Amino acid sequence: MKNPTSIIDRFAYNTTDSIETRFSKKLILIVAISCCCAGVVWSAMYFLFLGVGLTMVLPLVFVVIVGITIPISHFKRNHKFLIYSQLICITWVSALIQWSIGSLHDSGIVIAWSFLGPVGALLFLKRKQSYLWMAMFISIVLISVLIEPKWTHDTMNLTETARKIFYIMNLAFPASVVFMASLYFVSNLIEQKNLNYSLLRITENKNKEIHDSITYAKRIQQAKLPHINEIQKTFPNSFILFKPKDIVSGDFYYFHKNDKSVFIASADCTGHGVPGALMSMIGSEKIDDALAHTADTSEILRHLNKGIKNSLHQTDSMESTRDGMDIALCSVNTDARIVKYAGANRPIWIIRNGQTAVEEIKATKAAIGGLTEYDQQFETHTIQFHQGDTFYIFSDGYADQDGGDKGKRLMTKNFKRLLLDIQDKSMQKQEEYLDQFVDNWRGEKEQLDDILIIGVRL
């Protein structure tokens, strides 16, 4: 918020004020000053037409009370003092003036000023409080009407011209105060609306720039991922279901082929979206580096763990980042149908040809990077496959998705049952079925995490 420059802007100024509070402070000050000026004019008019008396003094009482409350509110940095003094005085001083004169006709309906009480309460206080002020105003009007016959014989003798002047003043001036306050209120609303519109346009432009930037980052991430066609040349009976939660993904799949083995992995990095995507790029590069040193899956994960921790400067310090990844890595000898698997918190599931159970080989209970020890060892499992056997490696996004009739998570056991139910389908049909199933399961709910499933039938 910019620093105040005018007297009105500086009134009861507090650096913690919201826009609404600053507007309320300025508006009550404008109304109070306007009413004080009117009070001086009314006192002078009563002196001119009625002479010295209670009726002449009452407007000055209003001016004094409200005038004293203005500096108090300013130095207390709390405009509530001014609000309540203004509302009480405008309501009851007007009523007292009316009753001091006695006749509604002779007073020019000075009680009309009391209507500024509920109007002010509506502007400056809570809506429920304005109901009480309106009820108070109606009560004052009823009392004035009921007691008028008792005072008609004491009605001050005013000329018809004086009565007309008071009628004009008591109708025109309160209406002018309401109009000017409303005009100021509406002007500020329009100004705020224009400001909000400008901020909205700026936000929309920024969002578009960010969206375009992330969309371009998606192209870079996709370019880094292995081509599906290349994978399916090596594994004709395979699929990769890849469904990022956001534009870019924290899950990624890896594929590398050399003369002896084929390496394939599914990885789940910390987070999703842009942070996860950055981790996925680092992770992919570090697997390449690890493969340059060794072809042993457990050693690859050990090198990957060291590479991530070195790249992110991860130490035991509390300020150190805790980002990392879970991964399932397989080295496949397609001729011998031997798979060497090593995992960091991500298992491999095997469904043998003709069997009705899922064989699960659990991963080493340690992540890559983060809080994992620098020299963490990862276990390799050698698995003999036969023709028609299938293995699955995946992130946790599919099983953790909320949905269904009860809005609950799919859960791992249901994911296993689902895979068993589709073993009669081709791998391509399995991918289509799993994709459609999770969309139907999710329904209108938000996708909670990136989803990655790799299925390979040997």
List pLDDT tens digits, range 156-166: 566 778 778 88
Mean pLDDT throughout 368-389? 94
More confident residue, 288 or 180: 288
Residue 1: pLDDT above 60? Answer: no
DSSP letter for each residue of 294-344 = ---HHHHHHHHHHHHHHHTT--SSTTS---EEEEEEEEEETTTTEEEEEEE
419: amino acid identity, one letter: L
Contact 82, 29 (CB under 8 A): yes
Q: What's phi and psi for 387, nearest 5 deg? A: -60, 130
Round to whole Å and give the CA distance between 148 and 103: 6
**What distances in angstroms separate CA 174 from CA 32, 188, 270, 435, one per listed residue?**
12, 21, 65, 69
Rg (CA), the chain: 40
Q: How confident is the model at residue 426 (pLDDT cuts 50, 70, 90)?
A: very high
pLDDT value of residue 17: 85
pLDDT value of residue 188: 73
How many CB atoms lie under 10 A from the CB of residue 258?
10
Q: Measuring CA to CA, which residue among 270, 421, 265, 427 is closest to residue 346?
A: 265
pLDDT value of residue 14: 84
Task: Give every CB contact of residue 308 below 8 A, 6+ residues apart in sequence.
Answer: 282, 283, 286, 314, 324, 325, 368, 369
Q: How confident is the model at residue 211 (pLDDT cuts 50, 70, 90)?
A: confident
pLDDT value of residue 414: 94
Residue 373: pLDDT above 60? Answer: yes
Collapsed DSSP state (helix, strand, coil) of residue 258: coil
Task: Give every CB contact of residue 247 below 8 A, 6+ residues apart in sequence.
Answer: 211, 214, 215, 217, 218, 273
Mean pLDDT throughout 179-205? 80
Longest dimension (CA), the chain: 121
More confident residue, 343 or 97: 343
Round to whole Å and give the CA distance between 252 and 284: 8
DSSP letter for each residue of 144-193 = HHHHHHHHGGG-----HHHHHHHHHHHHHHHHHHHHHHHHHHHHHHHHHH
* Segments of the chain assigned to CATH 3.60.40.10: 226-457
Tell me what the pLDDT averaged over the chain comes to: 88
pLDDT digits (tens, 9 = 90+) for 74-121: 898 888 999 999 999 999 998 888 888 877 777 778 888 888 899 888
pLDDT digits (tens, 9 = 90+) for 272-324: 788 888 899 999 999 999 999 999 999 999 999 999 999 888 877 777 778 88
Round to whole Å and give the CA distance between 3 and 202: 23
Q: How confident is the model at residue 419 (pLDDT cuts 50, 70, 90)?
A: very high
More confident residue, 190 or 38: 38
Residue 153: pLDDT above 50? Answer: no
Task: Give every CB contact of residue 417 below 8 A, 6+ residues apart in sequence.
Answer: none
Round to whole Å and give the CA distance between 11 and 82: 11
pLDDT value of residue 151: 58
More confident residue, 195 or 404: 404
- The fraction of the chain above a pLDDT of 70, given in percent, is 96
| Alpha-carbon dihedral sign for residues 173, 176, 180, 186 | positive
How many CB atoms lie under 10 A from the CB of residue 375?
8
Of the candidate ranges 14-28, 237-251, 387-401, the one whose mean pLDDT is the lowest? 14-28
Residue 65: pLDDT above 90? Answer: yes
Q: How confident is the model at residue 427 (pLDDT cuts 50, 70, 90)?
A: very high
Element (H, E) at 1: none
CA dihedral defined by 266, 271, 274, 276, rounded to 10 degrees?
-30
Q: At what angle do helices 116-124 and 160-224 cross, to 10 degrees?
A: 10
More confident residue, 373 or 151: 373
**CATH number for the domain running over 226-457:** 3.60.40.10
Q: How confident is the model at residue 60 (pLDDT cuts 50, 70, 90)?
A: very high
No. of H helices and E strands in the chain?
13, 13
Residue 380: pLDDT above 90? Answer: yes
